[in-house]
Structure 1
Amino acid sequence: MGPQWAPVPMTDPLTVQTSSTAIPGAGEPGDYAVRTSVVEVPLDGTTVEAQLRVPVGADEDVPAVLFVHGAGTGRYVDAFVDQAQALASAGVATLVPDKRLDTYTARHRDYVAMADDYLHSFDLLRDVDGVDPDRVGVYAESEGAWIAPVMAVEQPDVAFVALVSAPVVPPRQQAAFAVDQYLRNTGVPQQVFRAIPRAVGMSLPGGGFEYADFDVAPYQRRMTQPVLVVYGTGDASMPLVQGAEQIIRDVAIAGNPDYTVRYYRGADHGIRVDTVVDPVFLRDLTGWVLGLPGTGSADPRVAGDQPEQLYWAAPVAQPRWLGNGDVLVFLVLGAVGLIVLLPLGRQALVGVRHLRGLPRSHHRDEGLARRLAVLSASTVATVVGLVFYLYGVARLALGYERNGWVVQGGWLVVRVLGLVAVAAAASVVVRLRRLRAAGQPLAHGLLGHAVLWGTCAACAALLVVLAYWGVYQLGI
C-alpha cells in the first residue's frame, strides 16, 4: 500500500586532499578589542534587534559577516556567540540579528521572503562606520544554507558566502536522510525503516509545509561569490559528501571556480567538539575571510577529516494510499472514537431504560460481546503502543542514544499486541459465522447492530493502518 525504503549506497566518496584544514594564504588575524552594541533592523512589517560587534582600532575599513540562523528561534543572545566574537577580535565586524518569528512557523516558512528580511540586515551592516561595504559576506548554518544562496543571487553585493552544515538537498529529502541515519545509529529493527517514506513522503496533517520541497539548487547555480563549505564529520543529520559535491557542481554551472571545502573531525552540526565550537574551525573561518579574494580559490580545495556517507539523500517517494495526513488522522481518531463511544452509548441507553422501568432490550450474545471487547482493547492498545514506541525511538535517535529494551523490546511488545488483535478479530469472525449457522441473531435492535458493525469496521480500519505502518511485516 505504500513505498518501501531502500536507500542507494554511496560508492563514490569525496576524497580529501590533505588532513590539515589550514587555509593557504589565510589573512593574518589581529588582536582587537571589540565594541558591542545592539541595533534595530527595520523589516517590512516589523523590527528586530541585532547585536553588532566591531573591532576597535583597525587602521582601515574591515570586512564584515552577517549571520543567518538555522532552524529554531534564533536569538542573538544565544546564537553564533563564539563565531562572532572570534571574527570581531581578529578584525572582522559581525552582525547577528534576531530571527523574524512572526512569519516563521512549523507549517509555514518562505525562504525567499526570509532572504529578503536578512538583506535588510546586510544593508545595515554595509553602512556601519569602519566597515568596508565591498567586503561584507554571509555566514549561514543549517536551515540558513537554504536562505544564503537566495541572498547571494538577489544581492550581487554579497561578497562571499560561508555555508556551514548545509543540507543542500530539499528539506523533505534531507529529513528522510536524517531519520534514516538516526534510526541506524539507534539500532532499530529493519522493519521500522518502512515508516520513513510513509511519514516523510505524505502530506502532513493540517496542510502547509510547502517549504518541504524547496530546492535551493537553482540559486546555487547562479552564485558567483567565493564559497566556504564546512561540515563536521560527527554530524549524522547532513549528507556530508553529497552536499559538498552538489555545491561544487552548482557553482561550476555559474562559472564560479572559488570554492573551499573543510571537514572537521568529530564535530557536530554546530561544528562543536565536546559542546565547544572547534577552535581550529574558528581559526580557518577567520583566515579565509581575511584572506579573500586569494583564499577563495586556494589549494587544497577539499581538506580535513575524511567524510563518510553511507547512502544517498534521494527524493522521497509519495505514498499512493494513506498519503494524506488529514485522512490518516481522521481515520485513526475516528476509528478509536467509534470503538470507545459505541459500547458506552449502548450501555447508557440500557441504563436509562432500566431507570424508567421500561423492559430491557434482548440480551446480547455474551460470547460475541467478550470477543468484541478483546478485539477493541487489543486494537486500540496496539495503536497506542505503536505511537509510544515511535516517540521513544525518536527521543533516543535525537539524543544519539541506544537502548535495546526500548528499541528491540518495545517493537516486540507492539507486534505481540498486534497479533493479539488479529487473533481477536479472527475469533469474532468465527463467532459470527457460528451464530449465523445456528440461525441466531447477530445483534438485537438498531443500536445493537450499530455497535457490532461499527466496532468491527473501526477495528478493521485500524488493523489496516497498523499493517501499513509495518506491524505485521514478516521481515522478508
Structure 2
Amino acid sequence: MPYRIATSSVVGVIVLAVIGAFMGPQWDPVPLNDPLVVASSSTAVTYAPLAQTYPVRESVVTVQLDGTTIEARITEPVGASGPLPAVVFVHGAGTGEYSRAFKAQASALAASGVVTMVPNKRLDTYSARHRDYVQMAADYAASVQTLRHWPGVAPTKVGVYSESEGAWIAPVMAADDPGLAFVVFASAPVVPPRQQAAFAMDSYLRATGVPNTVFRAIPRAVGMSLPGGGFEYFDFDVAPYQRRMHQPVFVAYGAHDASMPMVQGAEQIIRDLAIAGNGQYQVRYYAGADHGLKVDGEVSPDFLRDLSGWIRGLPATAQSVPQIAGATPHQTYWAAPSPMPRWLGDGDAVLAVVAGAVGLLVLGPLVGLGVTGWRRVRGRPVRHRLAPGVAGRLGWIGGLSVATVGGLVWYLVAVARLALDYERNSVIVQGGWVGVRLLGIAAVVACVRLLDLERHPRHDGPGVATGVWGHVVVWSVLAGALVLLVVTAYWGVFQLGI
C-alpha cells in the first residue's frame, strides 16, 4: 500500500502541475541587449555656478487644496540675494509627511541658495486601491502656486522634484503648466504601474535567488483584476504628458536600484521629450546609490551637488554636456506589458471559487451530521455512516487544502510587501515557498490515501462510507479540496518546470 499511495501521489502532483501550466500565462521577460551608453563617468554638470553655503531657516505654511488643506515645510537660505529659484517636492508612494520626507535634499538645496517646499501628501483621496495621478497633480500645483508667491522667490524659476511614484505626477503638472521652470525625475519608473510592478517583482525575486517556480505568479498576480474593483491607476500611461513637456529635465537613477527600468526609463523620457521638440535633458547614474539615491544610508553628495548646480545654473545648465553620464546602468530585462491571465483573471471570481470550495468542505459534513441527527431524533436507523478513520482523514484533507491556500496568500502578500519596501528576507522568500509546497503535497497525499481506501477497502468493509449522505460528505470534501488544489496549482505551487 505505501508504494501504491506514493505512486498515486506523484501522479496527482504531476497532473496538478500540468493543469496549472495550462491555465495561465507563463513568465518569460525579454532580455535588454542594447544598453544606454554613458559619455563620461563624471556626473558633474557643466555651466553650474560656484557652490555657496548659507544658513537656512524653516517655516511651516498651510496650503489650500480643493476641499481640504495641508501643511508644508519651506526651507530657505538666509542671506542669499534674490529672487531665488525654488522647488516643490512631489512624494513617492506612501504617506509623504514633510517631517520625514526629503530632509537631506531640501536642506542641501536650501543651503546652496534654492528655496524648497515639502508639502504633506494629501491622503483623503489616496489609498492602495484608488489613486488619481491627474488629481494629485492638481493638488501639488497648489503648492507650486504658494511657493511662487513666497517672498524672495522668482515666480518664473519654480520647478518640481519628483521621486519614484511622483514621476507619474510631475509630467502632468509640467504639461498643464508651461510656466513650470524645470522638472527633476529621481528614480522614475516611467512605464505604467502594472508594468513597473511586474518588472520590480521580477528584479527583486531574481536578486534574492527565489526558486524559478515562483515567477509564474508574477503575470497572474499583476494581470489579475483585484477583488473589489479599483486599482485603475495600474494602467496609467504618463507618456502623453511627457510628450507635452518643454521644461529642462534632470533624470537621476541610483546605479544599484534594481527595481527601476533605469535604461528603458531614461530612453523613453528622451524619446517623449523629442516628440515635444525638447532636447533639454540631463541623465545621471550614481554609483553605489539605491532607489532613494542613497549610498550607505545617506543621499549621494554627488547627486546633491549636481542637482543644486543644475537648478541654480538654469537656463545655461540645460545645455550641459555630456547629457548622459555617470556609472554604467544595468537593466537585464525589458519592463514590458505583462501577459494577461486566460483563467482566474477576475479577482472577484477567484474569491468566489475559493469561497465555494471552502463551502463544500464545510457544507458536506454539516449536511451529513444534520441528516444523521434527524434520523436519530425520529428513531430511524442510521444507514449513512463514514467508515472508521474516514472522519479524521476528511479533517486532514480539508485542513491541509485550506492551509495551502492560506499559506500561498500569506506568501504572496509577504513577498509583495518586501518587494515594495525593497527589503530582503531569505527565510520568507525561500523557506516560505518550500513550506507552501510541502503543504500542497501533503494535501495531495491525504486525498490519495482516502481514494485508495475507497478502491481497496479494508477486510471487505464498506470502503469510505455507506448510504447516500455518507458519500455526499466524502465527495463534497474531496471536491472542495480538489478545487482549492487546482487554484494553488494555478499559482505555481505544484510547478515542475512545465
The bucket for the TM-score relative to the shorter chain is over 0.9
C-alpha RMSD of matched pairs (Å): 2.5
Aligned residues: 473
Aligned to 1:2: 24
Deviations 1:293-348 (A, max 9, x none): 11112101111111111111010111010001111123224423432454356447
> What amino acid sits opposite 1:68 in the alignment?
V
Secondary structure of 2:216's match? helix
Aligned to 1:307: 329
Q: Residue 114 of structure 1: which of 126, 131, 136 is its match?
A: 136
Aligned to 1:96: 118
Question: How many percent of aligned residue pairs carry the same amino acid?
Answer: 62
> Could you tell me the TM-score, scaled by structure 2's length?
0.88
Secondary structure of 1:224's match? coil
Aligned to 2:82: 60
CA distance in 1, matches of 2:430, 2:180: 51
Q: Would you say the 8 A contact 1:28–1:290 is kept in 2?
A: no
CA distance in 2, matches of 1:443, 1:364: 4
Distance change in 2, residues 1:392/1:125 (3 Å)? closer
Distance change in 2, residues 1:413/1:65 (3 Å)? closer
Q: Residue 275 of structure 1: which of 289, 297, 302 is its match?
A: 297
CA distance in 1, matches of 2:188, 2:422: 20
Aligned to 1:141: 163
Aligned to 1:38: 60
User: Does 2:314 match 1:292?
Assistant: yes
TM-superposed CA distance for 1:360, in Å, is 4.6
Deviations 1:25-75 (A, max 9, x none): 112333223232111111111111111122232333011101111111111
Distance change in 2, residues 1:32/1:406 (3 Å)? closer
Q: Residue 98 of structure 2: which of 76, 85, 94 is its match?
A: 76
Aligned to 1:401: 424
Q: Would you say the 8 A contact 1:10–1:311 is kept in 2?
A: yes
Aligned to 1:387: 409
Deviations 1:239-291 (A, max 9, x none): 11111111011101110010000111111111111211111111111000001
TM-superposed CA distance for 1:94, in Å, is 1.2
> What amino acid sits opposite 2:191 in the alignment?
V
> What amino acid sits opposite 1:401 in the alignment?
R
TM-superposed CA distance for 1:373, in Å, is 3.5
Of the structure 1 ranges 454-463 and 200-209, higher mean CA displacement relative to structure 2 is found in 454-463
User: Does 2:362 match 1:316?
Assistant: no
Distance change in 2, residues 1:141/1:409 (3 Å)? closer
> What amino acid sits opposite 2:222 in the alignment?
V
Q: Residue 327 of structure 1: which of 349, 373, 379 is its match?
A: 349
Structure 2 unaligned spans of 5+: 1-22
Q: Residue 339 of structure 1: which of 361, 368, 386 is its match?
A: 361
Secondary structure of 1:85's match? helix
Aligned to 1:251: 273
Deviations 1:102-144 (A, max 9, x none): 1111110000011111111111111112111111111100100
CA distance in 2, matches of 1:8, 1:265: 25
TM-superposed CA distance for 1:213, in Å, is 0.3
User: Does 2:191 match 1:169?
Assistant: yes
User: Does 2:484 match 1:465?
Assistant: no
> Could you tell me the TM-score, scaled by structure 1's length?
0.92
CA distance in 2, matches of 1:282, 1:122: 21
TM-superposed CA distance for 1:81, in Å, is 1.1
CA distance in 1, matches of 2:244, 2:317: 20
> What amino acid sits opposite 1:91 in the alignment?
G
1:433-452 pair list within 5 angstroms:
433=455, 447-452=469-474
> What amino acid sits opposite 2:200 in the alignment?
A
Aligned to 1:158: 180
TM-superposed CA distance for 1:363, in Å, is 2.7
CA distance in 2, matches of 1:360, 1:429: 24
Aligned to 1:363: 385
Of the structure 1 ranges 160-169 and 323-332, higher mean CA displacement relative to structure 2 is found in 323-332
> What amino acid sits opposite 1:174 in the alignment?
Q
